[in-house]
Amino acid sequence: MQTQQASSPQVEAQWIRQIAKRDRGAFEQLYRAYERKLYRYLLGIVRSPELAEELTGDVMIEVWKNASRYRGHAKPSTWIFGIAHNKGIDVLRRRQPQVTELHAVAGAPDPRPGPEAAAIDESERREVAAALDALSAEHRGVLDLAFNNGCSQAEIAQIVGCPINTVKSRMFYAKQQLRQVLERRGFRREIS
């Protein structure tokens, strides 16, 4: 995957308008800006690196095909993550649950020195990853959009296509379930 490019919602909206006119350069810029974000978000939903990579491409193809439908009523990120959410959930509905190896979603190794600190951090990451696996895709999705992608509750509501009160409920119950799963596993960190 290529490196992520910083951009503003105004620049992204301009890229989408250019993509609607079949500007490949604008598409490449938008792709570079979203490739990693979409991959991480989709990986959180589908729990398969290969499938998340495939879906990232599928989402961007949808953006290419449907750029003329973007009306600017929401931020480009909201529109794009909405497409990703729908594709990820559709895939989950069509397939049987799979076991995912924890190292595939546990995150990057701890950059701090010391084997004890690294072992403790790795253990905590595994606990959290296992606890997240116990949540539904909808609950994992809202947590990921909020905490990893910085989306507001209103943006999440637009992305997942539900009322904002449903997002609030999902956030509350996702945190509550995550806390309960972690406590049952003997993990005692505060979840904000």
Is the distance from CB of 55 to CB of 44 less than 8 angstroms?
no
So what's the pLDDT on residue 7?
81
So what's the pLDDT on residue 120?
65
So what's the pLDDT on residue 1?
43
Question: How many DSSP H helices and E strands does the chain contain?
Answer: 8, 0
Rounded Cα–Cα distance for residues 181 and 115 (Å): 27
Quote the pTM value.
0.61
Task: Encode the chain (192 residues) as per-residue pLDDT tens digits.
Answer: 444 446 899 999 999 999 999 999 999 999 999 999 999 999 988 989 999 999 999 999 999 999 999 988 889 999 999 999 999 999 888 876 555 565 555 655 545 556 676 666 677 778 777 788 888 888 888 888 888 888 889 999 998 898 999 999 998 988 888 888 888 877 766 555
Closest by CA to 62, choosing from 99, 105, 30, is 30
So what's the pLDDT on residue 118?
66
* Identity at 74, one-letter amino acid code: A
What's the CATH fold of domain 9-94? Rna Polymerase Sigma Factor; Chain: A (1.10.1740)
Rounded Cα–Cα distance for residues 56 and 189 (Å): 33
What's the CATH fold of domain 102-184? Arc Repressor Mutant, subunit A (1.10.10)
Is the distance from CB of 155 to CB of 171 less than 8 angstroms?
no
Q: Is the dihedral of CA 48, 54, 57, 63 positive or negative?
A: negative
Place of tokens 């495939």: 54
Rounded Cα–Cα distance for residues 49 and 75 (Å): 27
Is the distance from CB of 85 to CB of 160 less than 8 angstroms?
yes
Task: Sketch the domain layout of the chain as residue ranges.
Answer: 9-94, 102-184
